[in-house]
Each structure stands twice: as structure tokens, then as C-alpha cells.
């Protein structure tokens, strides 16, 4: 009976770590894997590649729950600052950005499809739009 209980507990633990596209198991916490400076490797909106619009953009997720989105427009750097958090299942990220000095906010929810140290895949669905985002660590 002891071996059966051990196998059952291990299988429950491993299955709880799964995202649709992996990894199957990791010794690093999800919050540690997401904490990084990321660049856009691939960005699709309804299967239309818009990656080139984000060539000069970066996303930084910090361990203490802040997110910084940096974009360069015509030789000026625009930084949006906000907070990020996992939803209750840790399968999604809720990001809320602060828009410059007006203190207006907006929220985005992304489903995590893959979360590794060197690879993060996200998906967001709003209405008829499907956004697919693949990020890699900044060089």
C-alpha cells in the first residue's frame, strides 16, 4: 500500500506542474522561471505575424510582482509599469499596466502554454482575436 500511495502522490505532483506544451517537471518555481527580461521571438494575431512591430520591445517580470514593458518609438523609450500575478490555478498570468502619468490602467490575461527558463509561450483570447506570443530571454 505504501508504494501505491507514493506513486499516486508523485503522479499528482507531476501532473500539477504541466502546461500544455511543457515542461513536464521543473525544480524551479514558476515565479522564478517567469522572472526575467524577455524579448518577442514570435507574435501572431489570428495567425498573422506581427513580430516585427515588437522588435524593439522588452518585457521584464520581476520576482516581487512588477512588470515593465519597454518599447522604442522614434528614438524615444516608452516604459509601462505594472503588476503581474498568477491566477489561482497558476495557468494564467494577469498583468495590469500603468499608463504614463494619467494613472489609467488596463488589464490583460494570458494563458501560459509553456514556461521554461529560456522559453515562454502565452496565448490570449479576446472576442474573435487570438494572440499567440513566444518570448525568449533578452540577450
In the predicted structure, residue 7 carries a pLDDT above the cut 70: no
pTM: 0.76
Q: 139, 128, 137, 7: which is closest to 60 by C-alpha?
A: 137
Q: 42, 28, 38: which is closest to 67 by C-alpha?
A: 38
Q: What is the pLDDT of residue 124?
A: 95
**Which range, 99-103, 113-117, 134-138, has the best average confidence (pLDDT)?**
134-138
3-state secondary structure of 69: strand
Domains within the chain, CATH numbers bracketed: 28-137 (2.40.128.280)
Look-up of cell digits 500575478:
85
**Cβ neighbours for 36, distance < 8 A, ≥ 6 positions apart:** 60, 61, 117, 137, 138
Least confident window among 27-36, 47-56, 83-92: 27-36
Amino acid at each position: 500500500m505504501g508504494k501505491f500511495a507514493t506513486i499516486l502522490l508523485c503522479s499528482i505532483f507531476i501532473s500539477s506542474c504541466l502546461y500544455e506544451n511543457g515542461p513536464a517537471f521543473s525544480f524551479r518555481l514558476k515565479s522564478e522561471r517567469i522572472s526575467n527580461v524577455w524579448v518577442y521571438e514570435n507574435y501572431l494575431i489570428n495567425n498573422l505575424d506581427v513580430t516585427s512591430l515588437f522588435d524593439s520591445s522588452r518585457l521584464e517580470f520581476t520576482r516581487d510582482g512588477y512588470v515593465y514593458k519597454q518599447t522604442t518609438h522614434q528614438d524615444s523609450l516608452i516604459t509601462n509599469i505594472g503588476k503581474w500575478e498568477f491566477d489561482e490555478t497558476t495557468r494564467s498570468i494577469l498583468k495590469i499596466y500603468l499608463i504614463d502619468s494619467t494613472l489609467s490602467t488596463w488589464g490583460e490575461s494570458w494563458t501560459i502554454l509553456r514556461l521554461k527558463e529560456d522559453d515562454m509561450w502565452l496565448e490570449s483570447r479576446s472576442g474573435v482575436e487570438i494572440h499567440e506570443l513566444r518570448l525568449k530571454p533578452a540577450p
